[in-house]
């Protein structure tokens, strides 16, 4: 009788990790750092480590090699990272499309920065609603670039060159950077009768931001435009990452700041800020605020209405004089 070798057949039906766990793994694999991944997903580093171990147990593979100083993806982890990133992106886009399908057809989602919303758009909302009573607006407040499909956005207002892949951009307005202070400083501080007075006893604030082709106007550039660059020492200047912080320092700290004129219009009209001197520095001509929307949305009635209103506001303001201080 011929001998036979027993064959054992097993069926493996492993459970796949849930979406939340996969998002944690994707963040850890992208950062190769559990602490940064924890900050992104709102967990502790220990919880991230525990979730990764749980995923490894579920899958039966090791995803990371760990040392006391760093973590690295294993070959199996690299495969899972690529697939997880693709799957999460697909789900994110599908969720965005699903939300868009369930929205009121008269609902327009606008992405814009908090500064633009507070200082420019919100004060003009009554005029927009009066002109477009059938259109409902909601806002995504963010400075980050958005994916129109995945993030459920119809139009965005962004500062830049207007070159965005797969999108159209209408130029709105350029930036004119001017010096401002609080009325209290005019009343109680050292005299401010001419630009050279800024060199004495004043804290000068500005936005420190640059790209490969553009530097946000700073005090050295403004002093050159005002004709006093030969005596200027910028060691007393204080740099901030955003003009909102500059305005706050001016209002609360008695500083003199460089701010973009269109974004402080309400503060000037209401007397919280005073513009100093009739000298401004323009941004590099390739940079401006733009209204951005996906290609193919040119005929969307909601986008057309918002676009025409925005451009109409720009044309209406083009002839208005600036607010100047004595």
Specify whether 297 is located in the same domain as 162: yes
| 177 neighbors 262 (Cβ within 8 angstroms) | no
In 3-state terms the chain splits into helix, strand, coil percentages (rounded to 5) of 45, 20, 35
Specify whether 86 is located in the same domain as 233: no
CA 68 to chain centre: 35
In whole angstroms, give the CA distance from residue 151 to residue 96. Answer: 6
In whole angstroms, give the CA distance from residue 22 to residue 27. Answer: 9
Specify whether 203 is located in the same domain as 189: yes
Specify whether 47 is located in the same domain as 110: no
Burial-class residue 273 by CB neighbours within 10 Å (0-12, 13-18, 19+): buried
Q: Which CATH number goes with the domain that contains 94?
A: 1.10.10.10
Domain tally, the chain: 3
Specify whether 28 is located in the same domain as 88: yes
Containing structural domain, residue 110: 105-174+286-318
pTM, whole model, 2 decimals? 0.66
Comparing CA positions, the residue from 93, 105, 90, 15 lying closest to residue 54 is 15
In whole angstroms, give the CA distance from residue 56 to residue 67. Answer: 17
Specify whether 167 is located in the same domain as 303: yes
Q: What angle do CA 63, 67, 73 make, to 5 degrees?
A: 25
**pLDDT by 10s per residue, the chain, length 326:** 555 555 544 445 566 778 888 899 999 999 999 999 999 999 999 999 999 999 998 888 999 998 878 889 999 999 999 988 888 887 877 777 777 766 767 789 999 988 888 888 988 899 999 999 988 888 988 877 778 877 888 899 988 888 888 888 998 888 889 999 999 988 887 888 888 888 888 889 999 988 877 888 899 999 999 888 677 777 778 999 888 889 989 988 788 999 988 888 888 888 999 999 989 998 877 888 899 998 888 888 889 999 999 888 887 765 443 333 32
Pairing of strands 176-181, 256-260: antiparallel
Specify whether 276 is located in the same domain as 248: yes
| 185, 269, 251, 124: CA torsion to nearest 10 | -170
Specify whether 267 is located in the same domain as 301: no
Comparing CA positions, the residue from 115, 145, 142, 117 lying closest to residue 242 is 115
Mapped onto helix, strand or coil, the DSSP state of residue 179 is strand
Contacts of residue 197, defined as CB under 8 A and 6 or more positions apart, other chains included, come to 190, 191
Residue 4 lies in a domain: no
Q: What is the pLDDT of residues 101-149, one digit of tens each?
A: 667 677 899 999 888 888 889 888 999 999 999 888 889 888 777 788 7
Q: 49, 67, 99 — which closes off a domain?
A: 99
Take residue 322 and report the two structure tokens written for it: 């600036």
Q: What is the pLDDT of residues 272-318, one digit of tens each?
A: 999 999 899 988 778 888 999 988 888 888 899 999 998 888 877 65
């Amino acid at each position: 009788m011929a001998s036979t070798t027993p064959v054992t057949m097993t069926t493996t039906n492993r459970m796949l990790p849930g979406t939340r766990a996969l998002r944690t793994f994707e963040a850890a694999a992208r950062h190769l750092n559990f602490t940064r991944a924890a900050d992104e997903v709102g967990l502790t580093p220990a919880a991230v480590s525990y979730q990764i171990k749980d995923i490894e147990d579920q899958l039966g593979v090791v995803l990371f090699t760990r040392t006391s100083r760093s973590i690295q993806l294993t070959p199996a982890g690299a495969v899972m990272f690529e697939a997880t990133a693709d799957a999460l992106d697909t789900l994110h886009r599908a969720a965005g499309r699903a939300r868009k399908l369930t929205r009121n057809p008269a609902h327009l989602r606008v992405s814009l920065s908090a500064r633009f919303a507070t200082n420019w758009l919100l004060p003009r909302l009554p005029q927009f609603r009066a002109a477009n009573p059938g259109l409902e607006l909601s806002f995504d407040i963010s400075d980050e670039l958005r994916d129109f499909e995945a993030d459920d956005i119809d139009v965005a207002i962004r500062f830049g060159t207007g070159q965005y892949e797969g999108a159209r951009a209408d130029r709105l307005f350029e930036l004119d950077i001017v010096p401002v202070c609080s009325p209290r400083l005019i009343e109680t501080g050292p005299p401010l009768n001419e630009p050279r007075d800024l060199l004495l006893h004043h804290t000068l604030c500005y936005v420190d931001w640059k790209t490969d082709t553009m530097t946000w106007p700073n005090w050295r550039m403004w002093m050159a435009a005002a004709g006093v660059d030969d005596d200027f020492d910028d060691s007393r200047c204080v740099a901030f990452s955003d003009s909102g912080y500059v305005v706050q320092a001016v209002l609360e700290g008695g500083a003199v700041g460089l701010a973009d004129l269109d974004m402080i219009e309400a503060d000037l009209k209401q007397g919280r800020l005073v513009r100093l001197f009739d000298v401004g520095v323009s941004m590099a001509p390739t940079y401006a605020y733009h209204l951005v929307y996906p290609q193919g949305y040119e005929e969307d009635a909601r986008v057309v209405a918002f676009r025409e209103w925005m451009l109409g506001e720009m044309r209406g303001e083009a002839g208005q004089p600036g607010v100047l201080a004595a």
